């Protein structure tokens, strides 16, 4: 367990809809999770700092950023990337999968992000067949890179929603979509058994913390433990790649 934890180079958490990701090679990462920044983060577990001075501000998290704000944020994030030395900054988004499988941002906006993660946050009670079709449709969008908390469960609060996991995994593999292992102990989604299935189907996972605060990056350990319970090794987990390799992998 310890050795796998030590191989985690890049952590990932969510902070609303727009994103910023940065890393200086796996150490001394600085993350902007300051008040207004609405960000999906890919970054290491320590040394947080605010990007406020760089002009990255605001973003309503509850209802998401509207498209214009999202576009402005992407521009700010990309401008910050040029200013900051030694740190990678990426703009990304966690985008809702709507009831019909469409994404709630248009493709013209999605393609401006460096990374797009999609997940279900509504209408989770639909029959398995309908949910499967919904997920398959989302996975086929060419800008989607990661499928977030794929079963939607929240421990002690909400059961996973029903869908044909074999079909969805197969489609994700075909389209190069990576599965999230959300390490937040309220989720642990994918679960240990599900990541084992993912491994057996030749898929990679990315462990995230679903961080909504810098302290939450410590939750990475639960993601690592879940991965181990699912028999994953470092080679099955994208966070263990050097940043450059990960970004190439995500860029497709």
* Residues in Cβ contact with 164 at an 8 Å cutoff, skipping those fewer than 6 apart: 128, 129, 132
- Give me the residue whose beta carbon is nearest to Zn ion: 119
Nearer to Zn ion, 182 or 240 (CB): 182
Q: Shortest gap between Cβ of 23 and Zn ion (angstroms)?
A: 22
Q: Is 119 in the site for Zn ion (CB under 5 A)?
A: yes
- The token pair that represents 88 in the structure block: 């990678």
Q: Shortest gap between Cβ of 212 and Zn ion (angstroms)?
A: 10
The angle, 0 to 180 degrees and rounded to 10, between the axes of the packed helices 128-139 and 165-174 is 10
Q: Strand, coil or helix: what is 43?
A: strand
Nearer to Zn ion, 136 or 211 (CB): 211
Q: Shortest gap between Cβ of 149 and Zn ion (angstroms)?
A: 6
Taking CB under 5 A as the criterion, which residues in 50-109 touch Zn ion?
none
Nearer to Zn ion, 23 or 119 (CB): 119
Spatial distance between the Cα atoms of 31 and 218, rounded to a whole number of angstroms: 14
Nearer to Zn ion, 38 or 119 (CB): 119
> What is the torsion angle, in degrees rounded to the nearest 10, for the CA atoms of residue 111, residue 93, residue 160 and residue 142?
10
Kindly tell me the burial class for residue 98, based on how many C-beta atoms sit within 10 Å of its own C-beta (0-12, 13-18, 19 or more).
middle
Q: Shortest gap between Cβ of 95 and Zn ion (angstroms)?
A: 10
Taking CB under 5 A as the criterion, which residues in 25-44 touch Zn ion?
none
Nearer to Zn ion, 45 or 148 (CB): 148
User: Total residues contacting Zn ion (rule CB under 5 A)?
Assistant: 1
Q: Shortest gap between Cβ of 30 and Zn ion (angstroms)?
A: 24
DSSP state string for 88-125:
--B-EEEEEB-TTS-BSS-HHHHTTSSEEEEE--S-TT
Nearer to Zn ion, 26 or 96 (CB): 96
| Interacting span for Zn ion (CB under 5 A) from 16-24, 111-119, 155-163, 171-179 | 111-119
Instruction: Select from 18, 19, 22 the least CA-distant residue to 247.
Output: 22
Binding site for Zn ion (CB under 5 A): 119
């Amino acid at each position: 367990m310890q050795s796998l934890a030590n191989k985690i180079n890049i952590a990932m958490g969510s902070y609303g809809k727009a994103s910023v990701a940065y890393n200086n090679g796996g150490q001394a990462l600085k993350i902007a999770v300051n008040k207004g920044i609405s960000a999906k983060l890919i970054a290491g577990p320590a040394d947080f700092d605010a990007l406020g001075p760089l002009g990255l501000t605001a973003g309503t998290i509850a209802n998401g950023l509207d498209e214009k704000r999202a576009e402005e944020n992407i521009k700010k994030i990309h401008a910050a990337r040029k200013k900051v030395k030694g740190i990678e900054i990426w703009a990304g988004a966690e985008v809702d999968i709507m009831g019909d499988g469409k994404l709630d941002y248009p493709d013209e906006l999605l393609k401006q992000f460096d990374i797009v993660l999609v997940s279900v946050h509504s209408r989770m009670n639909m029959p398995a067949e309908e949910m499967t079709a919904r997920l398959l449709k989302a996975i086929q969008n060419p800008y989607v890179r990661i499928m977030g908390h794929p079963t939607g469960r929240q421990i002690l609060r909400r059961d996973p929603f029903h869908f044909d996991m074999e079909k969805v995994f197969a489609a994700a593999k075909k389209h190069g979509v990576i599965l999230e292992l959300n390490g937040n102990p309220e989720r642990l989604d994918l679960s240990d058994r599900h990541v084992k299935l993912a491994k057996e189907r030749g898929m990679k996972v990315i462990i995230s913390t679903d961080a909504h605060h810098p302290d939450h990056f410590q939750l990475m350990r639960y993601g690592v433990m879940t991965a181990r319970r699912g028999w994953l090794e470092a080679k099955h987990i994208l966070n263990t790649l050097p940043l450059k390799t990960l970004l190439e992998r995500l860029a497709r």
